[in-house]
Amino acid sequence: MEEGYRDGVDAGKENSLQTGFDLGYKLGVNILMPCGELRGTISALVTWCQAQKSDPMMNTQLGELLAAICQCEDQIVKGLSYVHQVVHPSELSSCMDDMGLSSHTHEPSNDSCAAGQDCCRNQECLPSSFQNCRTIQELNNVVKHELCRILKGTRSIAQQLNLSSDLLFYLQTLEMKCSLI
């Protein structure tokens, strides 16, 4: 009996670890992919501006945007470690029923998180707000906000440099991807 218990615990741990890894990998890729695309685009613009010997002010602004997207990526990775997956009460209830335990109905809390509102605090102070996010949706909201800000700056510079309409269209496409995070 003890051996069966240990086997069950080991199997449960393994399944839980694999499920956690799969979820974390999926979340990381989905959230970080637009950042990587934007970082690559800004890096290409920096290189192009240097080769064209364009306005030094544009180089500086692009450098700042590149630093911002790199910082954003770093903060997302850190933020992902702070996110706690929120389990819906019905999921807990069905698990408890499956184990033969009685479930209790809890009244929803009146705080803003329980009401489905954005719980990230200090969105103006983005680096720390990544750490204040407790759900994936909250993290997505902060990421979306920061990516939109960086994309607007990048698009503005691309327009000032009179770059091709294809590049401007690509930046718009990235903005649409970011809005889907």
pTM: 0.63
Give the position of tokens 């970011």: 178
Between CA 153 and CA 38 the distance in angstroms is: 11
Helices (H), the chain: 2-52, 56-82, 89-98, 126-132, 136-160, 165-179
Between CA 15 and CA 132 the distance in angstroms is: 29
So where are the chain's domains? 33-97+120-179
Q: What is the pLDDT of residues 123-147, one digit of tens each?
A: 344 445 566 677 777 878 888 888 9
At residue 15, the pLDDT reads 74
Do 74 and 125 meet the contact criterion of CB atoms below 8 Å apart?
no
Tokens of 151: 């994309």
Query: Pick the residue with more confidence: 122 or 13?
Result: 13
